[in-house]
Amino acid sequence: MTEATGIGAAVKRREDLRFITGAGTYTDDLNQPGQAYAVFLRSPYARAKVGAVDGSEALAVDGVLAVYTGQDTSADGLGDLPCGWLVKSKDGSDMVSAPHPPLAVTQVNYVGEPYGLVVGETLAVARRGAELVNTEFIELPPVAVLGGAARADPIHEGLAGNLAFDWELGDQAATDAALAGAAHVTALEFANNRLIPNALEPRAALAQYDAVSGEYVLRTTSQNPHLERLVLSAFVQIGPEHKLRVIAPDVGGGFGSKIFIYAEETAALWAAAKVGRPIKWTAERSESFLSDVHARDHLTRAELGLDADGKFVGLRVRTTANLGAYLSTFASAVPTFLYGTLLSGQYRTPNIHVQVQGVYTNTAPVDAYRGAGRPEAAYVVERLVETAARELGLDPAQLRRRNFIQPQDFPYQTPVALVYDTGNYQAGLDRALELADYPGFPARRAASERAGKRRGIGLSCYIEACGLAPSQLAISLGAGVGLYESGEVRVNPTGSVTVFTGAHSHGQGHETTFAQVVSDQLGVPFDSVEVVHGDTGRVEFGLGTYGSRSLAVGGSALVKASEKVIAKGRRIAAHLMQTTPDNVAFQDGAYRSGNQQKTIQEVAFAAYVPADYPEDLEPGLSEKAFYDPKNFTYPAGTHIAEVEVDTQTGAIELVNFVAVDDFGRIINPMIVDGQVHGGIAQGVGQALLEHGVYDEQGQLQNGSYMDYCLPRADDLPSFLTDLTATPCDHNPLGVKGCGEAGAIGAPAAVVNAVTDALGVRDIAMPVTSERAWRALQGVAGEGV
Amino acid sequence: MAALNKHIHLRVNGVSHALEVPANMLLVELLRQRLRLTGTHVGCDTCQCGACTVHLDGRAVKSCALFAVQADGCRVCTIEGIGGPGGLHPMQEAFRDCHALQCGFCTPGMIMRAIDLVERSDGLDEQAVREGLEGNLCRCTGYHNIIKAVLQGQEAMEADDD
Ligand code: FES
Ligand code: FES
């Protein structure tokens, strides 16, 4: 029996064989003859002037090849690391993007910021050298606490209030009026806790320069090698684009943190040319904690107004977003266009106004991490809705139903810029309630109470905008690049197919899913389709993988390229069958006309051996396409969490988690399910365990796995997942994207469940057992 | 300060090696850098992620938590020694079958740990597997499918024993 491999089949992943046998090739697994090793000099202070950097003792160590600092990179004319999204403040002015040299030159602005590097024959020698570098620092008072940034001294010269932008979206006057006239207003004030992404593979780079050809090759942990090449050539100006090859080999997870163009791979590439040797750098985990971008970190006040019938009339949101010390690659887009635009949620809220102040602090840069702005938005909306239901004594499910955008409302224009394409929110909610046995909850709660425990249930009906992004819209909103995707489908002379995609897989399984798509389009065996990605030397161009965009945008490009292949093949087949192309039908890998038939493999052979061939047609059967999406896609769903709290210890057990998601059409349900699981784990991590904490001196308090609490196997239950489907109506596959849903839906569901169990109005994330215990004491009247 | 070198003998995946190693070289460094067995990964610097898990004389250990010299006279088995494309270990099969990996970075350590867990127990249930894998981090899968895989791998290993 042959396994089904077409669209919709749970095909086992072809990439797995190398990973389960230890044959994967991650960046640190690679080596180059003659390679040297880099160790970075990092600031021990959150804010300080950098004085003299004395490398003489280090250079005296046998095997230390070089000590470089920001002075050297700037003397060589290396450009700044840019932020690729220009946000405008509400007064029309451009955001203030502070200069961000790859290596700090005169001032360091967060603990762990690189200001130099030592290159040595071995890693041990480079480390020893780095320890011997003497650097003069003049400490300055840091701005480490988000709440105090506006009143503190400017981190960057002349930047009053440390304000990068003051952005707004929506109709303020109408929203104010709606809230003033509301029968009930629910207001909450909370933080969205700072997270540290922690892909399990630390960032790494293996950089080479060939002085004869002038070519640079950078192997690195990137989610978007072409974007990395573009930035390194156009902005940092290391070398011209055609002399720069960026390869992202197997990459051990990204979740956003490997989108960005970082100092380390930039400096390593530059240094490889300087010392004339390949240079290898791999982060230690403690370096990852300090210098990978962090995520979330908002302070928000939000108010939801309802009329006497429980209909939402207005939503007002005021957020201060921590950007860290510099604007990372997409930092400005995350708390604005990926956040404010999602505040309509699944609801017909007629008036929404959001204001976001993006603020610099002396902490690691903050940028996109799984969900990127959308988890923060879903948290605002779903915490408010649940709280409003409790205040009004309504069933939270019922209040949501009353306000859902209805199936007949699509396309639905929200008051915050987006036009939702398709959806059926009621269907998702109903299925989730059924899977969670919502009606049975009171009995389960009673049973828990008999055992001396508290039980709670919480809903979250999230929405996300994925499939980033229609280029013109994105560019009009400030994006520095288009967000289309490229693909190439090359039918080889023997009929096998090589597929090139600009998307990048770092766990998502594109080598399998994309092969399913193309094998389905061309009607060729799955095993005859090979997918190539992650190498600017092999793939023409690409924007990479983030924002749940690979299939919706990259997959669509492959459909378009396949269609071009089929169209060209039709002309060849018509010629071979002595008819006209419009008499030829293509299905299941064969062209047919009357009772004649030519397989696509026969046609491919004819295309490369054009003996009997249309006169005006080029040989070959290989086609490229760029797909620019017409709209975002809008995955949505309902997540339900159920928790049990030990009243003695405050320990919270997540006893059940249900996720029902609408991702449109599904190519590989097994992979989709896996993506949902991983997202949920990260969302639960945010709600219950994870928090990146800086003290007032700007020192990261939990920079290791000993004290930053990543979810472990025994922190989580197995999950109950299911799907509903309203296909996307504007991309050829009907797909919406599935990578981020779990991280977006879960936090509010969990906190709604915990507050339900504890009987409190609000509680801060992460809800540790200590916080829960304190809340319980408060409830019991024994003080907090 | 040059580290003192030591002579050690060990068998790795059935092959004997006589090596001179710095006294402060970690076992994982020996495996990855000297023997180029790069299936064993390094995910942290505090011995807490489990990506570096190998078998030392048949027991799962974190190879970043041992010096190479501590493996002197021992048998070491890494993911490469458990099974290859031509003959997978049932636990490897189970991981693939259950989609228990995404980026694959934690996978070798998970599989090595899981095999040891099964070998040293008589019948693990879900909770026991979750507790047994507590020292191995995975950031991709949410563990859901890893748990499934270990239970399925356990069954297959027991069937193989029969
Ligand atoms: S590398 Fe050994 S436990 Fe993390
Ligand atoms: S599969 Fe990526 S860390 Fe486990």
Mutation target for A interface from B13, B91, B113, B139: give the one with most A CBs within 10 A: B139
Outline where DSSP puts E strands in B48-147. 53-56, 59-62, 75-77
Task: Supply angle C-alpha A222, A228, A231, rounded to 5.
Answer: 155
- Sign, Cα dihedral of A402, A405, A406, A408: positive
Pseudo-torsion of CA A511, A512, A515, A516, nearest 10°?
Answer: -160
Minimal CA separation from A351 to chain B, in Å: 37
Q: Are B9 and B28 within 8 A, CB to CB?
A: no
Q: Which fold has domain A31-140+201-252+258-291?
A: Aldehyde Oxidoreductase; domain 3 (3.90.1170)
Dist. CA A707 → ligand 2 center (Å): 20
CA dist., res. A286 & res. A702, Å (int): 10
Q: Name the token pair of A127.
A: 């480390």
For helices A741-758 and A669-684, angle between their N-to-C axes, nearest 10 degrees: 40
Dist. CA B51 → ligand 2 center (Å): 9
Measured from the Cβ of residue A440, the count of other Cβ atoms closer than 10 Å reads: 9
CA dist., res. A682 & res. A678, Å (int): 6
| DSSP secondary structure code for residue A510 in this structure | H
Which ligand is the nearest neighbour of the Cα of B66? 1
Minimal CA separation from B80 to chain A, in Å: 6
Residue A28: list chain B partners with CB under 8 A.
38, 42
Q: Which of B79, B137, B148 has its CB closest to that of A710?
A: B137
The answer to whether the Cβ–Cβ distance between B102 and A710 falls below 8 Å is no
- Together in a domain, B42 and B24: yes
- Together in a domain, B123 and B153: yes
Measured from the Cβ of residue A613, the count of other Cβ atoms closer than 10 Å reads: 16
Minimal CA separation from A689 to chain B, in Å: 14
The answer to whether the Cβ–Cβ distance between B79 and A680 falls below 8 Å is no
Domain-by-domain residue ranges, chain A? Answer: 16-22+484-627, 31-140+201-252+258-291, 295-468+631-782
Q: Are A68 and A40 within 8 A, CB to CB?
A: no
| DSSP secondary structure code for residue A180 in this structure | H
Dist. CA A506 → ligand 2 center (Å): 10
Q: Are A206 and A266 within 8 A, CB to CB?
A: no
CA dist., res. B11 & res. B15, Å (int): 5
Identify the band that residue B160 occupies on the pLDDT scale cut at 50, 70 and 90. confident
Q: Is the CB of B67 under 6 A from ligand 2?
A: no
* Nearest-by-CA chain B residue for A504: B103
Dist. CA B51 → ligand 1 center (Å): 5
CA dist., res. A538 & res. A226, Å (int): 11
The answer to whether the Cβ–Cβ distance between B88 and A20 falls below 8 Å is yes
Q: Which fold has domain A16-22+484-627?
A: Aldehyde Oxidoreductase; domain 4 (3.30.365)
Low-confidence ranges of chain A (pLDDT < 70): 1-2, 779-784
* Nearest ligand 1 atom, CA B50: 3
Q: Which of A26, A285, A508 has its CB closest to that of B46?
A: A285
Residue B128: list chain A partners with CB under 8 A.
none
Q: Is the pLDDT of residue B2 over 80?
A: no
Q: Are A608 and A493 within 8 A, CB to CB?
A: yes
**Nearest Cα to Cα of residue A621 among A570, A667, A574, A670:** A570
DSSP letter for each residue of A442-480: HHHHHHHHHTTEEEEEEEEEEE--BS---HHHHHHTTBS
CATH for A295-468+631-782 is 3.30.365.10
Which positions ≥6 away from A276 have C-beta within 8 Å?
A209, A211
At B31, which helix (H) or strand (E)? none
Note whether A31-140+201-252+258-291 and A295-468+631-782 share their fold: no
The SS3 call for residue A368 is coil
Q: Which of B34, B62, B81 is the last residue of a domain?
A: B81
Provide the number of structural domains found in chain B: 2
* Nearest ligand 2 atom, CA B101: 1
Q: Which of B81, B107, B142 is the last residue of a domain?
A: B81
For B119, the domain range is 90-161
Dist. CA B39 → ligand 2 center (Å): 13
- Together in a domain, B65 and B120: no
What is the predicted pLDDT for the residue at A779?
59
The answer to whether the Cβ–Cβ distance between B142 and A19 falls below 8 Å is no
**Is residue A770 packed enough to be buried (19+ CB in 10 Å), middle (13-18) or exposed (0-12)?**
exposed
Residue B133: list chain A partners with CB under 8 A.
712-714
Q: Which of B46, B103, B142 has its CB closest to that of A201?
A: B103
Q: Which of B107, B113, B147 to mutate to test the pocket of ligand 2 (most atoms within 8 A of CB)?
A: B107
Report the pLDDT averaged over residues B2-9.
Answer: 84
Strand pairing report for B75-77 and B5-12: parallel
What is the predicted pLDDT for the residue at A544?
84
**Beta-bridge mates of residue A225:** none
Q: Name the token pair of B133.
A: 């894998």
Quote the radius of gyration of chain A (alpha carbons, Å).
Answer: 27
* Nearest-by-CA chain B residue for A25: B38
Residue A710: list chain B partners with CB under 8 A.
137, 139
Give CA A157 to chain center in angstroms.
Answer: 31
Which positions ≥6 away from A430 have C-beta within 8 Å?
none
Q: Name the token pair of A260.
A: 């960005």
Nearest CA residue ID for atom 3, ligand 2: B138
Sheet holding A596-599, edge to edge: A585-587, A590-593, A596-599
B47: domain CATH number is 3.10.20.30
Dist. CA B26 → ligand 1 center (Å): 11
Count interface pairs A-B at CB distance under 8 A. Answer: 181
Q: Is the CB of B43 under 6 A from ligand 1?
A: yes
- Together in a domain, B64 and B110: no
Which positions ≥6 away from A613 have C-beta within 8 Å?
A572, A575, A606, A607, A619
The SS3 call for residue A178 is helix
- Together in a domain, B68 and B24: yes
Residue A172 phi, psi dihedral angles, 5° rounding: -65, -45
Which ligand is the nearest neighbour of the Cα of A201? 2
CA dist., res. A104 & res. A405, Å (int): 50
Measured from the Cβ of residue A330, the count of other Cβ atoms closer than 10 Å reads: 26
Nearest CA residue ID for atom 4, ligand 2: B138
B94: domain CATH number is 1.10.150.120
**Nearest Cα to Cα of residue A254 among A228, A215, A280, A217:** A228
Residue for token pair 């003859």: A33
Which positions ≥6 away from A154 have C-beta within 8 Å?
A160, A161, A162
Q: Is the CB of A507 under 6 A from ligand 2?
A: yes
The answer to whether the Cβ–Cβ distance between B101 and A673 falls below 8 Å is no
Q: Which residues of A62-97 are buried (b: 16+ CB within 10 A; e: fewer)?
A: eebbbbbbbbbbbeeebbebbbbbbbbbeeeeebbb
- Together in a domain, B52 and B103: no
Q: Which of A285, A506, A673 has its CB closest to that of B43?
A: A285
Which positions ≥6 away from A488 have C-beta within 8 Å?
A499, A500, A501, A539, A540, A561, A622, A623, A624, A625
Residue B131 CA neighbour count, 13 Å, CB half: 6
Q: Could you tell me the CA-to-CA distances from A527 to A483, A524, B77 in Å, in that order?
A: 30, 8, 32
* Nearest-by-CA chain B residue for A721: B144
Residue A24 CA neighbour count, 13 Å, CB half: 30
Q: Is the CB of B135 under 6 A from ligand 1?
A: no
* Nearest-by-CA chain B residue for A740: B140
How far the first Cα of chain B sits from its last, in Å, is 55
Dist. CA A205 → ligand 2 center (Å): 20
Q: Is the CB of A451 under 6 A from ligand 2?
A: no
CA dist., res. A468 & res. A369, Å (int): 15
* Nearest ligand 2 atom, CA A253: 2
Report the pLDDT averaged over residues B76-81.
Answer: 98
Which positions ≥6 away from B94 have C-beta within 8 Å?
B100, B149, B150, B152, B153, B156
What is the predicted pLDDT for the residue at A2?
59
Q: Which of B32, B33, B61, B64 to mutate to test the pocket of ligand 1 (most atoms within 8 A of CB)?
A: B64
Q: Which of B81, B104, B133 is the last residue of a domain?
A: B81
Q: Is the CB of B108 under 6 A from ligand 1?
A: no
Minimal CA separation from A6 to chain B, in Å: 18
Q: Is the CB of B141 under 6 A from ligand 2?
A: yes
Rounded to the nearest integer, the mean pLDDT of chain A is 95
Q: Which of B3, B44, B78 has its CB closest to that of A285?
A: B44
Rounded to the nearest integer, the mean pLDDT of chain B is 96
Q: Name the token pair of A759.
A: 């009987």
The answer to whether the Cβ–Cβ distance between A200 and B138 falls below 8 Å is yes
Q: Are A367 and A258 within 8 A, CB to CB?
A: no
H helix runs in A210-313, sequence order: 225-234, 263-275, 285-291
3-state helix, strand, coil in chain B (%, to 5): 40, 20, 45
The answer to whether the Cβ–Cβ distance between A718 and B79 falls below 8 Å is no
**Beta-bridge mates of residue A738:** none
Dist. CA B105 → ligand 2 center (Å): 5
CA dist., res. A465 & res. A335, Å (int): 14
* Nearest ligand 2 atom, CA A19: 1
Minimal CA separation from A506 to chain B, in Å: 5
CA dist., res. A556 & res. A629, Å (int): 9
Q: Could you tell me the CA-to-CA distances from B49 to A581, A710, B100, B113 in Å, in that order?
A: 59, 10, 17, 12
Q: Which of B43, B44, B97 has its CB closest to that of A12?
A: B97
